[in-house]
Amino acid sequence: MSKPSTKVSRRQQILESLAHMLEVSPGARITTAALAKEVGVSEAALYRHFPSKSKMFEGLIEFIEETLFSRIGLITNDDSSALSRCNKILFLLLTFTERNPGITRLLTGDALTGETERLRARVVQLFDRLETQIKQILREAEIREGIRPVLPVTAAANLLMATAEGRISQFVRSEFKRSPTEHWEEQWPILVSGFLRESLQPVN
C-alpha cells in the first residue's frame, strides 16, 4: 500500500496515509491528530469515514486478508505439488510484508499496543487461517501424492508458519532493513528436506 495519490477515495487515502506513517515512523504511536495532518484534513473529517482509530487499523487488516486469501485461493487450485503450493503461499506472505512494511507492524502486533483486543484477535485468526491452509494442503498430499509424513501434519504446518513469522518479526525489528524474502529461495529446500522431504514416505 503506497503513499496516497489524488485519485483515490478519501477512505482509501486515510488508510494509505496510515500505512505510510506506520512505515516511516517505526516504533511510534500514531495519533489521529498526526494522521489528519498527513491526510490534509481535520480530525472531524477522519471520523466521518472511520468512527475510531481501531476501525482504521481494522480496515488495513481487511486489506491484508483480502489481498492474501484471494491469491491463496488461486494457489490452492493449481496443480503443482503440495510442497510447491506451501512454498508459494509462504513466499506470497513474505513478499506481501516486504512490499507493505508499515502494515506488517500490525501483523507482528508492534503497532497494536494499547489498541483493542479485537484487533489482536483478528491478527491471530489471520495467521491461524494461513496455518490451516498449509495443513489442508499437506493432508491432501497424503491422498493425491501417496505420501505420509513421519512428522505429524499439524507439527509440520506449525514449523513452516513459525519460520515465516520469524522472518517477518526480524523484518520489523530491524526497522525494515532485513528483507523477509532474503535467502528464502536457498533456505526453502533445506527446510523441507529436514522435516518433510526426507520424512515423506510412500504409503504402503
135-to-54, 73, 143 alpha-carbon distances in Å? 31, 15, 13
Distance CA(20)–CA(82), nearest Å, equals 36
* Predicted pLDDT of residue 1: 60
Q: How many residues does the chain have?
A: 204
Residue 21: other Cβ atoms inside 10 A:
20
Reported confidence tier of residue 112, pLDDT bands at 50, 70, 90: confident
Query: In this predicted model, which residue has the larger pLDDT, 9 or 1?
Result: 9
Residue-wise pLDDT tens digits, 46-95: 999 999 999 999 999 999 999 999 999 999 998 888 889 999 999 999 99
- Radius of gyration of the chain measured on its C-alpha atoms: 19
Q: What is the reported pTM?
A: 0.86
Render pLDDT for 150-175 as a digit per residue (tens, 0 to 9).
Answer: 788 899 899 999 999 999 999 999 99
59-84 burial: b if 16+ Cβ within 10 Å, else e: bbbebbeebbeeebeebeeeeeebbe
Are 21 and 35 in contact, with CB atoms under 8 Å apart? yes
Give the per-residue pLDDT at 194.
65
The crossing angle, in degrees rounded to 10, of helices 10-24 and 32-39 is 120
**What 3-state class would DSSP assign to 200?**
strand
pLDDT for position 195: 62
pLDDT tens digits, residue range 116-136? 899 999 999 999 999 999 999
Weakest mean pLDDT among 54-63, 106-115, 144-153, 185-194: 144-153
Of the listed ranges 43-52, 113-122, 187-196, the one predicted with least confidence: 187-196
